[in-house]
Amino acid sequence: MNPVILAALRAFPQQLEVHYAAFPAEFKNWAPPSWEGVPSEPLTAIEQICHVRDIAIDGYHVRFRRTLTESHPTLASIDTEALAKVRAYGKSDATAALAAFREARRQTVALIASLPPEQFDHTAEFEGYGPLSLRSLVHYLCSHDQQHLAGLQWLPGKMEASRVPAQG
């Protein structure tokens, strides 16, 4: 696998933690009046953390395993909104969620780094994305990371914008 992608996957847990830590405690569950323009799913800061953890474990771990062991499996998409409600993301412990994510990502990177090049040619059908290879799936994971990092950067922008009086 491309070393740049592996480095990005390795670095993401620390980036996630740093951006989350920048939120004042009273804004961990803050939601803007409008989610228009959000670069990730419309999730509060704590919900972003929990979502990334669950997508790593319940999404990508399963997708990688199935793509490697089954013949062109169909990989399910995960309903973020439903999962956030069922697992009560807004009431979650961020420290525990971040620790679980760090461990999940460690396992993901170890798996990817251990695979011989031909394994990345395994294929699957990913709901909402279409046909792909394992290599594609790794790139989508990296992209997903960046979307949620952008979401954590977008939220403070919306917080600040909400303080600006309307001109008129």
pLDDT score of 167: 83
Q: Is the pLDDT of residue 168 over 80?
A: no
Count structural domains, the chain. Answer: 1
77-83 LR contacts (CB < 8 Å, sep 24+): 77/126, 77/127, 77/128, 78/54, 80/41, 80/43, 80/51, 81/41, 83/51, 83/54, 83/58
Q: Give domain status of residue 168, yes or no.
A: no
| Rounded distance between C-alpha atoms, residue 122 and residue 52, angstroms | 24
**Alpha carbon distance 157, 123 (integer Å):** 39
In a domain, 46, yes or no: yes
- Whether 32 is in a domain gets the answer yes
Average pLDDT over every residue of 124-137:
96
The domain that holds 85 is classified in CATH as 1.20.120.450
pLDDT higher than 90, residue 163: no
In a domain, 140, yes or no: yes
In a domain, 164, yes or no: no
Whole-model pTM? 0.93
Q: Pairing mode, if any, of strands 123-126 and 74-75?
A: parallel
On whether the CB atoms of residues 77 and 58 are closer than 8 A, the answer is: no
Is 166 domain-assigned? no
| Residue 162 located in a structural domain | no
- The domain in which residue 130 lies consists of 3-157
pLDDT recorded at residue 67: 98
Let me know if residue 142 belongs to a domain: yes
**pLDDT of amino acid 7:** 97
Query: Which tens digit of pLDDT belongs to each residue from 30-63?
Result: 999 999 999 999 999 999 999 999 999 999 999 9
Q: How far is it, in rounded angstroms, from Cα 151 to Cα 22?
A: 13
Cα 56 to Cα 102, 103, 129, 165, 166, distances in angstroms:
10, 10, 17, 40, 40
